[in-house]
Amino acid sequence: MIDPPYNTRSAFSHYDDNLEHSLWLSLMYPRLELLRELLTEDGSIWVSIDDNEAHYLKVMMDEVFGRVNFVANVVWQKKYAVANDHKTIAPMHDHLLVYRKTDRWQRNLIPRTEEKDRQYKFEDEKGVFRNSDYTCSKSFEERPNLYYAVIQPNTGEEIWPSKTRVWAYSKEEHLRHVAEGFIYWGKDGLGRTPSFKRYKHLLRNQGVVPQTLWLHEYASHTDASRKEVRTVLGSSSLADDFITPKPEGLILRVLEIATNPSDLVLDSFAGSGTTGAVAHKMNRRWIMIEMGDHAQTHCQPRLKKVVEGEQGGISKAVNWQGGGGFHYFRLGETIFDEYGSIHHNVKFAALAAHIWFCETRVPLANRADSPLLGIHNDTAYYLLYNGILGDRRPQSGNVLTQAVLDSLPKHSGRKIIYGEASRFGKPRLEAENIVFKQIPYDVRAV
């Protein structure tokens, strides 16, 4: 689920939402391509957007995900009050463009509502049921086989469909319904209009097929989202100045249809952290990415409160009691360029952090400022790098020479040394207990 900036030409304090149309599209395109790569084969992507870019985004998503994988354009009624001062036609909705990665994606049915259940107001020895019409709107000419007399079992009267309709079932099916007690003739059993008993326990599925029209009663509205953020973060300006959060009720509906407990939900435009908050309360795993400061000022405190069991948003609806946890990471500089090569501008500290993480699988605690990055499981990790990629001059500091080895902080155990080149042969490296790894070839993305 992503909720990127809509490009609505209004200046938001947290991000630039006023980009050139083409620039907006060219920012979205590579991100969508990447998101497609990250999506599981049985996964789906939901993108919220308004009328400014929705139709261009649809075309772009067709290209990235394939038209065959377009699932739906959900129309969400984001407002319940019309802006009466609007000069033309007041917008009341946003879109959710839904694509699947492949045809392996399966949507869930949505839980039956109490209102639907209330239709089951009759009961007999077999269970609760509702009545459904025993006729259909075809004519005798169209379906002569569905035009026949049924017998009222208690009066013996022959009953025919009205002139403009026929029965909804063939005679054989009708006789089976009679034998199995599926026909309702009114409370006293003397009615003249048969209806079909639809037993609740015989429903093929206990849910309801999701639809493309989501009214605010079903999927909440933007007023609610502002209150939700205010409730979690306190009525500080912090909560108030983030003006475009989504309501938890909307994300609940998305995750209900698209995911199951313990599935992984990614939101790469986290904003105030609604997707993570809802995913957490619904026992889904989640990853959120946010480039603005509100990763720290909004997402982190919000998710802490969720873990502590805050009772706003959808908490009561899903009986959220708190629990679980999360990690908060600050992304480092980009190490690789778009071709997968080490970026020519990469600095020592960024490369050091990357190498340390790849080798040890734990983040480097402090910003590296020495060739000895640290010692992990009795192996010392060194990085020889002066900040100039490809600089192989022996005196550059990037090359493992006797002088460089003498200058490095000592470690008696195993040493892994990254550098542009090594002047030592294999026997010498073995004798010194050194594994030499060459930049850039031995620096991997993961």
The H-or-E segment that residue 45 falls in is strand 44-49
**In the complex, what is the shortest distance from the CB of residue 299 to ligand SAM, in angstroms, rounded to a whole number?**
8
Q: Which is nearer to ligand SAM, 61 or 443 (CB)?
A: 61
Report if residue 182 touches ligand SAM, rule: CB under 6 A: no
First to last CA, the chain: 25
Least distance from ligand SAM to the Cβ atom of residue 8, Å:
10
Alpha carbon distance 251, 273 (integer Å)? 11
Instruction: Look at the alpha carbons of 314, 242, 332, 345 in this order and tell me if their dihedral is positive or negative.
Output: positive
Single residue of 152, 272, 315, 422 touching ligand SAM by CB under 6 A: 272
Q: In this chain, which stretch among 50-58, 113-121, 267-275, 357-365 interacts with ligand SAM, using CB under 6 A?
A: 267-275
271 part of the interface to ligand SAM, by CB under 6 A: yes
Q: Which residue's structure tokens are 């959808």? A: 314
> What's the rounded Cα separation, in Å, for the pair 209 and 15?
37
Which one of residues 43, 161, 210, 245 is an interface residue with ligand SAM (CB under 6 A)? 245
Q: Which of 44, 195, 244, 259 lies at the binding interface for ligand SAM (CB under 6 A)?
A: 244
22 vs 395 by CB, closer to ligand SAM: 22
Print burial letters for 366-396: b (CB count within 10 Å at least 16), e (below 16).
eebeebbbbeeeebbbbbbbeeebeeeeeeb
Shortest Cβ 409–ligand SAM spacing (Å): 38
Q: Nearest approach, Cβ of 36 to ligand SAM (angstroms)?
A: 16
Assess 246 for contact with ligand SAM (CB under 6 A): yes
From the CB of 23, what's the least distance to ligand SAM, in Å? 12
Q: Is the bond into 440 cis (omega within 30 degrees of 0)?
A: yes
> Which of 195, 220, 268, 297 contacts ligand SAM by CB under 6 A?
268
Which one of the spans 120-128, 269-277, 347-355, 361-369 is the region binding ligand SAM (CB under 6 A)? 269-277
CB 61 within 8 A of CB 32: yes
Per CB under 6 A, 269 contacts ligand SAM: yes
How far apart are the C-alpha atoms of 32 and 58, rounded to whole Å? Answer: 12
Q: Least CB distance from residue 269 to ligand SAM, whole Å?
A: 3
Stretch that binds ligand SAM, among 240-248, 362-370, 408-416, 436-444 (CB under 6 A): 240-248
Closer of 14 and 221 to ligand SAM (Cβ): 14
Residues 289-318 that bind ligand SAM (CB under 6 A): 289-292
Q: Is 276 a residue that touches ligand SAM (CB under 6 A)?
A: no
Shortest approach of ligand SAM to residue 378 CB, angstroms? 39
Segments in 39-195 forming alpha helices (H): 54-65, 114-118, 171-180
Helices vs. strands in the chain: H and E counts, helices first: 14, 22
Q: Which residue has the tokens 């708190």?
A: 322
Rounded least distance, CB 274 to ligand SAM, Å: 3
What is the closest distance, in whole angstroms, from the C-beta atom of residue 280 to ligand SAM in the complex?
14
Binding mask 9-48 for ligand SAM (x = CB under 6 A): -----xx---------------------------------
In this structure, what are the phi and psi dihedrals at residue 127, rounded to the nearest 5 degrees? 140, -175
Angle between helices 300-308 and 274-281 (to 10 degrees): 20
Instruction: Rank residues 271 and 397 by Cβ distance to ligand SAM and give the closer one.
Output: 271
CB of residue 7 vs ligand SAM: minimum separation in angstroms?
10
Name the region of 95 (left: φ>0; alpha: ψ -120 to 50; beta: rest): beta
CA distances from 169 to 149, 199, 309, 348 (A): 12, 17, 53, 77
The distance of closest approach from Cβ of residue 292 to ligand SAM in the complex, given in angstroms and rounded to an integer, is: 4
289 CB-near residues (< 8 Å, 6+ apart): 266, 267, 268, 269, 270, 331
Segment near ligand SAM (CB under 6 A), from 96-104, 184-192, 194-202, 287-295? Answer: 287-295
Q: What is the DSSP string of 260-296?
A: -TT-EEEESS-TTTHHHHHHHHTT-EEEE---STHII
The packing angle between helices 274-281 and 222-233, to 10°, is 80
Residues 6+ away with beta carbon under 8 Å from 427: none
Site membership for ligand SAM, residue 249 (CB under 6 A): no
Stretch that binds ligand SAM, among 96-104, 238-246, 252-260, 280-288 (CB under 6 A): 238-246
Residues interacting with ligand SAM, by CB under 6 A?
3-5, 14-15, 244-246, 268-269, 271-272, 274, 289-292
